[in-house]
Amino acid sequence: MCGIIGCVGREDTLDTLVHGLSKLEYRGYDSAGVALSEAGDDEADGSAESEGSLDVVKCAGKIDDLRTALEGRETSGPVGVGHTRWSTHGPPTDANAHPHVDCTGQVAVVHNGIIENYQALRDELSTAGHEFRSDTDTEVVPHLVEAGLREGLDMEEAVREAIARLEGSYAIAVVVAGEETVFAARNDSPLVLGVDDDATYLASDVPAFRDFTDRVVYLADGEFARLDAAGWTVTDAAGEVVDKDVETVDWDPEETGKSGYDHFMLKEIHEQPRALRQCLRGRVDELGGAVDIGDLGDLSPTGVQFVAAGTSYHAALYAARLFREAGVPAQAFLASEYATGVPPIGDALVVGVTQSGETADTLSAMREASRRGARTLAVTNTVGSTAAREADHTLYIRAGPEIGVAATKTFASQLAALNLLSLATAESGGRDVVAALRDLPGDVQTLLDDSGAAEVAAEFVDAGAYFFIGRGYHYPVALEGALKMKEITYKHAEGFAAGELKHGPLALVTEDTPVFAVVTGDDELATKTVGNVKEVEARDAPVVAVTDGQSDVERYADHVLELPETHRRAASVLANVQLQLVSYHVANELGRSIDKPRNLAKSVTVE
């Protein structure tokens, strides 16, 4: 969940590290630090006695706090690593910030993930005389390396021996005084190399170095990388060289900038028409009413189990309904509950929905499904991610890079991609659905141009709580609307299936509880939801109707957020955009840290 950056071969190493950290701050932002290594006059020989220096600067707070700490410092060195943290072991303090060093201050380590056996290792090292300065699990790593160097191992051997003793998830980068080399390894936590003519980069995500190169190498679990002046080498756990493909990232660095918007989240909300076009491009035959999602083989599932977390779980709930309506048994599971829960159903297809492709809970669920003999499909945004590599099949949502911690355009693209999946494999829908998907980018743009969400947000910015209700495909949207409100406003918000209000939650409804009701069409679902709105109105709660105007829900609403008329499956995407805007504007009115909400991180790589 944290961010790692490393580089070898640049003259402006420190500036490069800090720039990379600023691009990774969405992954963690409660502390940050850098370590730079510089060889001495004589060539470093890899031993503990190598000449040279190691300069470490770190502090609690955001990247700007690190910049302040670096002012006036003559920090130098052609090789370095940096880290921005999302706390797991120990609070965000200067001592707990990465990089962590050994007793001598000659070995520095940055780490993402959780070392599950750190306490046993720490006890062993403490008994051997090592002194610890932090509460973190990470700090055992530099001390393990130090112990290896004391035993006469060379630098690479010492790092390999240290890595071999770790249990858990990790992406680790190590620098040592006197060594103009970065060593790195990964297990269940992402690491990617950036390859340029004169420099090599290491990061937990491509945006960290995308301004410098578009050539990347994705590391797999169990692989070990060495970056030095000669370039880069990847080996396996046994030390055998692994032949890695160098791939090209197909998005522009400008896509990770704000482009004049006040926040990444607002920019990404407004990028949804383009993201949807990218998702649909080449996959929809508008004349024939058919869908082609590429060579996924003959999936023909007799049952589908979706596993996901957070926003992706809401997309999974939506997708499960798509398949059930097509006559295919389907369920959505919280990934964190799946591995110890229900086994795959017969010849079920297990679909992991994960925008990053690195979500630890979802990866564990998919691996458990594979162990049980199920076929797996990853629905993800990230080429080269762990989910994409490990799954039997992959469907990319093509949303482009998303920097804001709260998912927006990736959710819309997930819903579109999952519609394509159901159309292609379960014959769910037909020409009317394909036509609605074709029109969806334009409909979202119309909504963005005319939305009244800012006025609604201003009206209810001081509300004590927010409720969101919907039925059918709109129930997951109600859950997602509440999640967005929680994530970026820090206000209490709940999403419900509309019919469940009267089974308990109605006791919480007051005149200080605005209820956002998603109602589209004029079918039975709409009629029943209007009835639930009347229940709310009778208790003096303000109602905001998110509607296409086909029902008479406006009669019972205090405010209306309009939707273009479309198929009910596409209407859920449109309704979600209105709710995203409401949450954004409430958070903005409250002065919240919208792109970096407290206690959260973009890619959740720990269980």
Give catalytic residues, as residue numbers.
2, 602
Cα 607 to Cα 94: distance, rounded to the nearest angstrom: 25
CA distance 374 to 391: 10
Answer whether 215's CB lies under 8 Å from 226's CB: no
DSSP 266-312: HHHHHTHHHHHHHHHTTTEETTTTEE---S------S-EEEEE-THH
Write phi, then psi, for 375 (nearest 5 degrees). Answer: -80, 145
C-alpha separations of 483 from 61, 123, 177, 408, 437 in Å = 25, 41, 46, 11, 25
Find out whether the peptide bond into 99 is cis, omega within 30 degrees of 0.
yes
Contact status, residue 190 vs residue 386, Cβ threshold 8 Å: yes
* Alpha carbons 122 and 17: distance in angstroms, whole number: 29
What are the b/e assignments for 404-414, b being 16+ CB within 10 Å?
A: bbbbbbbbbbb
Give which of 360, 336, 312 is closest to 606, Cα–Cα. 360
- Inter-residue contact 228 to 248 (CB < 8 Å): no
**Per-residue H/E/C for 389-404:** HHCCEEEECCCCCCCC
3-state secondary structure labels for all residues of 441-509: HHHHHHHHHHCCHHHHHHHHCCCCCEEEEECCCHHHHHHHHHHHHHHHHCCCEEEEEHHHHHHCHHHHC
Q: Where are the alpha helices (DSSP H) in 44-104?
A: 63-70
Cα(228)–Cα(592) distance, integer angstroms:
42
Give the residue among 472, 406, 423 at the shortest CA–CA distance from 279. Answer: 423
CA 306, CA 421: separation in Å to the nearest integer?
A: 12
Q: Which residue has the tokens 């495909």?
A: 473
